[in-house]
Amino acid sequence: MTSNDHPDRRPARLRLSEVIAALSFALDLTEGQPAGHCLRSCWIGMRVGSELGLSREELHDLYYTLLLKDAGCSSNAARLCELYGHDDLATKRDVKLVDVQRLSQLARFVLQHTGLGEGLIKRFGRLLHVMRNGDRFAGELISARCTRGAQIAIQLGFRPRVADGIYSLDEHWNGKGRPEGRKGEQTPIASRIALLAQIVDVFHTAGGVAAALKEVRGRRGRWFDPAVVDAFERVALDVELWNGLTAPDLDARVRELEPADQSVELTDERLDAIASGFGRIIDAKSPFTAGHSERVADFAVSIGRQLGFGVERLRWLRRSALLHDIGKLGISNAILDKPGKLDESEWHRMRMHPTFTEQILSRIDPFREMARVAAAHHEKLDGTGYPKGLVASEIELESRLITVADIYDALTADRPYRAGMPHAKAVEILESMRGTGVDGVCLDALLAGLERADRNAVAA
């Protein structure tokens, strides 16, 4: 697709719930959870909320609290990996199976997830450090996650009650949770339900119905509000609750759970805000990618303008560029932030991120084209790119354009341990790839756009 008079891409009507439910799969990846965890938590939590007699409005807020409960999860991944010296995805996955109020469970978890693969002395030192400061570290990590998650919810256009629900997800009924140590009903009802729903899903996935019920009962009155547990016990008698968790059409079932009178049809502005919000979630994953998605989107739009794209086409281009690396949420920070060269298996995993991008975005029917465009940002014209090894005739203009923007930003952006490359050097590298790695027309448009921006900056 190379013509400038490309027809505008206005998709069929989209519902907010459809987009958020699909993007919640990116949050599952970041949490190291089996795909569909947020969706299943929503399925469980909404039934509990209805059983408790929540109002339509409360149910609406609960619905999005459940789907977005992990919105802040990327913001502590790098730190988690640094502190514990272990794969953040595995740590995040396994911590959900731990009753952190039980010292023996907590100690075993720390032993099994700290400094694995490090030499004996280094590991011992790290373990000691974690044992001494574990409480402070946990507070720091949870606080980052909750605060960021709440901010993201507001940026995505949700009511403060949804943000509060996400902020208080890790509070416990007995006041021993975080980040505030809120007790009892000081914690919003949506958070109390979401906490229970996520534990039910995790234990059900790991050990079936009996394991889930045992865990809920064991934490009643400590982690969980007794009234929420009782409501869950009633709901758990219905076999449909459990059947739904493994139903192939769970997506559709969860979409139906959104209170109909509160259902929201997406405007273009809201969709833009959602793409930006998820762009921030992606960029928060690693200090190496801070601001990357936003800058790639800016460069891509500048190139698109130079090439004469219309307003609607630019809009979709911007969204595609913001979300091109959403699949990186499924890559461990042990790989993303590794100071040295990646080994073969790490590189193999890294090269999967565009595939994850395509899988996540294509869950939304009207996003299928965007999924294809975004997932091809590491393809090269000569067929040596990844993940599919596409050749020039198979790579769309939008993808070529995002590739140029992506490489330019990767070269010029400052990183935690090094300053960005000067513009001239980055251009030299891009020029060496002209016609083989990157599209010359897109490269010329990038350079023309940067020159124009420079002139404008001087004039201002």
Provide the binding-site residues for Fe ion, judged by CB under 5 A.
Answer: 325, 406
Nearer Cβ to Fe ion (188/279): 279
Residues in the chain: 460
Nearer Cβ to Fe ion (21/371): 371
- Residue 287 to residues 82, 277, 290, 339, 413, Cα–Cα distance (Å): 12, 17, 5, 12, 11
Cα 176 from Cα 340, distance rounded (Å): 40
Min dist CB 322 to Fe ion, Å, is 11
Nearer Cβ to Fe ion (258/406): 406
Residues annotated as part of the active site: 328
Nearer Cβ to Fe ion (88/406): 406
Nearer Cβ to Fe ion (23/228): 23
Q: Determine how many CB atoms are found less than 10 A away from the CB of residue 62.
A: 30
- Residue 76 to residues 36, 91, 112, Cα–Cα distance (Å): 21, 12, 20
- Residue 345 to residues 85, 352, 359, 399, Cα–Cα distance (Å): 18, 11, 21, 26
Q: Which residues contact 47 (CB under 8 A, 6 or more apart)?
A: 235, 238, 241
Q: Determine how many CB atoms are found less than 10 A away from the CB of residue 442.
A: 25
Q: Which tokens sit at 138?
A: 């946990």
Bond before 7 cis per omega within 30 degrees = no
Min dist CB 378 to Fe ion, Å, is 6
Cα 24 from Cα 39, distance rounded (Å): 7
- Residue 334 to residues 81, 237, 291, 352, Cα–Cα distance (Å): 6, 42, 20, 15
